[in-house]
Structure 1
Amino acid sequence: MTLMFIIGTVVCAASTLICWVMTALRRHPADSSIISLAAVELFLVAYGIYAAVRQLGFEATITGEGWEFWGYVFTALLLPVGVFVWAMIDKTRWSNLVMSFVGLVVFVMVYRMEVIWWGSAL
């Protein structure tokens, strides 16, 4: 496992848990849920920069397809933004629950990106 994968796992798990708790406690999108979504986005930006440096520098070989890897990166980057916009439009309790799924989906996507990069399950 790489350090970035471990950091991503922690950020995604924390975001998911915060959003679940806020779903139970709040009737509208909670600030803590939105901040946890921003933390996931910040991690993804850092992951994208890390991957670009990794590919341009010392580990230029991706075991899988490069287009697939970067497709996952760009899609993952759009996910928190799209859900944030949706949560600002639909200001109900369930916005917190929808935001919680970003952490779960991004975790799976980061896992898949690592598999594409290294060529095997972690």
Structure 2
Amino acid sequence: MILWFTLAQIVVAVVAGAFCVVAGLAGRRPTDWSVGAVALVEALLVAQVVTAIIAPLVGNPPTGDLLEFWVYLVSAVLLPIGAVLWALMERSRWSTVILGVAALAIAIMVWRMHVIWTVQIA
């Protein structure tokens, strides 16, 4: 994984998550802004999938467990999809909070993926 891209993903996910949690706790229902913020997190995750496929081919192989990395990545890609579907089906303030919690969970998962890719020795 690329450190600057990992940090960018984490910053975007934390900002989106904080925005959605605050908006939800303030009583806001899911809007284009909250769903769009989580969609941006999803777009960065899709870019991470492409990066994870290309990186070993250009000399940046993972040092940790590759299966564990891919389980984290696939789970992270599916998490915002589930949160957005939930928000679109149940349009309440708690759906906005769920969007935020999903984005914050993704920030943690992205950092863990970076640790698996760079720090551990398989």
- In the superposition, the TM-score normalised over structure 1's length comes to 0.90
Kindly provide the CA deviation profile for residues 59-108 of structure 1, in whole angstroms up to 9, marking residues without a partner as x.
12x11111111111111000000111111111111111010011211011
Whether 2:42 is the aligned partner of 1:41: answer: yes
Question: How big is the shift at 1:56?
Answer: 2.0
AA aligned to 2:67 is: W
AA aligned to 1:39 is: L
AA aligned to 1:113 is: M
Does structure 1 retain, via aligned residues, the 8 Å contact 2:39–2:80?
Answer: yes
Kindly provide the CA deviation profile for residues 4-57 of structure 1, in whole angstroms up to 9, marking residues without a partner as x.
12101211112012212321152x212111000100000101111111111222
Q: Percent identity?
A: 35
Partner secondary structure for residue 59 of structure 2? coil
- In the superposition, the TM-score normalised over structure 2's length comes to 0.90
Q: Which residue of 2 aligns with 1:99?
A: 99
Partner secondary structure for residue 46 of structure 1? helix
- Structure 1, gaps ≥5 residues long: none
Q: Which residue of 1 aligns with 2:77?
A: 77
AA aligned to 1:41 is: E
Does structure 2 retain, via aligned residues, the 8 Å contact 1:22–1:30?
Answer: no
Q: Which residue of 2 aligns with 1:109?
A: 109
Does structure 1 retain, via aligned residues, the 8 Å contact 2:21–2:101?
Answer: no
AA aligned to 1:40 is: V
Partner secondary structure for residue 82 of structure 2? helix
Q: Which residue of 2 aligns with 1:8?
A: 9
Whether 2:90 is the aligned partner of 1:90: answer: yes
Whether 2:30 is the aligned partner of 1:29: answer: yes
Root-mean-square deviation over aligned CA pairs: 1.4
The runs of at least 4 consecutive aligned structure 1 residues that moved more than 4 Å come to none
